[in-house]
Amino acid sequence: MREALMRRMFVVLVTTVALVALAVPVGAHPSEGSGIVASVVKAPIDPAGDVAGERTDFVINLDTSLDPTVDGRTLLAGKTIKVTLPDDFVYLGGPITNPGACPPAAGTCGTGVLLQGWPQNPIPPSPANYTLSLEGTQTIVYTATRDLVPGDASLNGPGIKQMHLILTNFVNPKPGRYEFLVEAETGVGGALETGVGVVRVLPKPRASINVTSVKNPPPPFPNTIYQTTTVGSDAPLDWSFLVWDRQGAPALGVEINQVNSRSAQLIQGGKVVGHVSIQAPKGATGQEVSGGPSVAFVAPVKSEDTGLLTVEFKAGDTAGLYTTTLRMNNGNSVTMYVTATD
């Protein structure tokens, strides 16, 4: 299996190396992915989906902007997206199937969803839209039951931009860097597109902050990552984040302390546990970020205990794009976008 996978990866790398500069978005490290894969990240619903010895749970980001105004990929009826994990990821047995047929925390099966760019707004994972299966012991297969096309009103989104693998019947290997193959029949007319993704398995959890949409109005959940408001006004939707500390425990009592119009701190128990930076239009003043303290919450899908941090953003006095990045010390970061108009 390993030799066959490496031969396939070699072919993919040779045919896509000329495309890497265009495929990887600005700010991404090329080693995170190649071809149609931009990066691979820990799933936002689990504090340890990328930790050695824990159950596998990560999200594959394709080389498409997550901005909802940009179309994602199409998967025509009968076409597939295949993700092949290295043999280092230990398969415990059991099927890979649609979420409704596989309790996420059971450990006797695995599942996944096709995402459209923001949490809790997948392409509805009904067998009427697509099915999941296992090919051999290491290849997870998404197969479209009907045409999954950007702009389809029943999908409520811009098309396929991410794949979430909730593999409770796989165990992560020892810490290290692992490559896997993505083969997607998502090109024009169902043409094959390929990429190599990189999973970085960690020795222990890291502090993390993760966007969630479940505290917004009921499904379909709106997109809080990209919003529009008027100058001097609040973003129409609060930002909600799941937060875990460096032990993978719920991060409770985290709140925001704004330092100036361009930066703030994440404070917990009087200690700085993270930072917030605001990139604003030239000359803008008055932009504000506030929120907390984080409270106990149960994360969606897998019912993991976590902290929920609710944040409000107010645009400054100048029209344009406000880009806010929240970063945990020795952990991950998330970036939110608000466009202010006159």
pLDDT in tens, the chain (342 residues): 444 444 444 333 333 323 222 333 333 333 478 899 999 999 999 999 999 999 999 999 999 999 999 999 999 999 999 999 999 999 999 999 999 999 888 889 999 999 999 999 999 999 999 999 999 999 999 999 999 999 999 999 999 999 999 999 999 999 999 999 999 999 999 999 999 999 999 999 999 999 999 998 888 899 999 999 999 999 999 999 999 999 999 999 999 999 999 999 999 999 999 999 999 999 999 999 999 999 999 999 999 999 999 999 999 999 999 999 999 999 999 999 999 999
Instruction: Please say whether the dihedral angle defined by the alpha carbons of residues 246, 251, 253 and 256, taken in this order, is positive or negative.
Output: positive
C-alpha 85/C-alpha 47 separation (Å) is 21
Architecture of domain 208-341 in this structure: Sandwich (2.60)
Q: Interior CA angle at 301 toward 297 and 302, to 5°?
A: 75
Look at residue 159 in the predicted model and tell me its pLDDT.
Answer: 97
Q: Are strands 111-115 and 333-341 parallel, antiparallel or unpaired?
A: unpaired
- Buried b / exposed e across 189-217, counting CB within 10 Å, b at 16+? ebeebbbbbbbebeeebbbbbbbbbbbbe
The answer to whether residues 31 and 186 touch, using CB atoms and an 8 Å cutoff, is no
Look at residue 17 in the predicted model and tell me its pLDDT.
Answer: 29
C-alpha 304/C-alpha 43 separation (Å) is 12
Structure tokens at 138: 């290491």
Q: What are phi and psi of 94, to 5 degrees?
A: 95, 165
Look at residue 25 in the predicted model and tell me its pLDDT.
Answer: 34
The answer to whether residues 238 and 224 touch, using CB atoms and an 8 Å cutoff, is yes
Structure tokens at 83: 């993700």
Look at residue 216 in the predicted model and tell me its pLDDT.
Answer: 87
Q: Are strands 226-230 and 333-341 parallel, antiparallel or unpaired?
A: parallel
Instruction: Return the SS3 of 261.
Output: coil
Domain ranges (residues) in the chain: 2-201, 208-341
Instruction: Pick the closest to residue 302 from 5, 27, 22, 47 (CA basis).
Output: 47
Q: What are phi and psi of 180, to 5 degrees?
A: -140, 165
**Close Cβ partners of 188 (under 8 Å, ≥ 6 residues apart):** none
Q: How many residues does the chain have?
A: 342
Instruction: Return the SS3 of 284.
Output: coil
- DSSP E strand boundaries for 43-175: 55-62, 80-84, 90-91, 111-115, 130-135, 139-144, 162-171
Look at residue 103 in the predicted model and tell me its pLDDT.
Answer: 86
C-alpha 62/C-alpha 258 separation (Å) is 34
Q: Which residues pair with 264 in a beta bridge?
A: 258, 276
